[in-house]
Amino acid sequence: MPETAKRRRRLYRGAEPVGRGSQILARKGSDLTAKIVLLNGVGSAGKSSIARALQTITAEPFLHVQMDAFLEMLPEALQDHTQGFAFETVWQDGKPSVVIKAGPVGRRAMQGMRHAVAAMAGQGNNLIVDDVLCDDEMSEYQALLSGFDLHVVGVFAPLAVLEAREARRADRLPGLARWQYDRVHKGNRYDLEIDTSLLSPIECARRIQQEFRL
């Protein structure tokens, strides 16, 4: 047998235990019941700050899954496009309100996020999920995550506070919070509700940690 072929064979054989080990780890991970904290709130409500604060105080490690990370996977050309997410500014009470319309690629990306969360949890990863749920996504999350230790947290703040925060952020269109405000929490029931206009991120995180014994 040529030396190159022998070397490839040795490399292949050497890789076999790694593959078996990965399968064993996957099986072990799937036996763990992951803890999931699902944060739902309007953009600029403070979800990401709470998630990062919560990561510093939990007894076990938690991964932070952000909606923004999945949105950033879209090509730049689809960031304001009918195939991805299209944004239209209308006016309400003399103030801008940005209507968000999801196209087929955008909807698939967000559905993929929800299934990715379930897959990560299936391997035993504790998760803090940071999302903005404007339609019926909550029911899909609850169906996908029914086998895990799921805690759903509503993150609130008055509209005036949200708009003031939004105005200070370079990565937000003025009017996103106004359009989302009446939609994000509509019909949703929470295990815990927190108001970020009254509590700091670390105070919110402590409330969550204490409430769910994390």
Q: Residues with catalytic annotation?
A: 68
Query: How many CA atoms within 13 Å lie on the side-chain side of 121?
Result: 24
Closest CA to 193 of 165, 151, 160: 151
Instruction: Report how far residue 113's alpha carbon sits from residue 136's, in angstroms, rounded to the nearest whole number.
Output: 15
Cα-to-chain-centroid distance, residue 151: 13
In sequence order, which residues have a C-beta less than 8 Å from that of residue 196 and are 6 or more positions away?
Answer: 41, 45, 46, 50, 155, 156, 157, 161, 204
Single-letter code of the amino acid located at 75: P
Q: How far is CA 69 from CA 3, 106, 169, in A?
A: 46, 13, 17
Residue 139 · residue 25 · CB < 8 Å: no
Q: At what angle do helices 47-55 and 201-212 cross, to 10 degrees?
A: 60
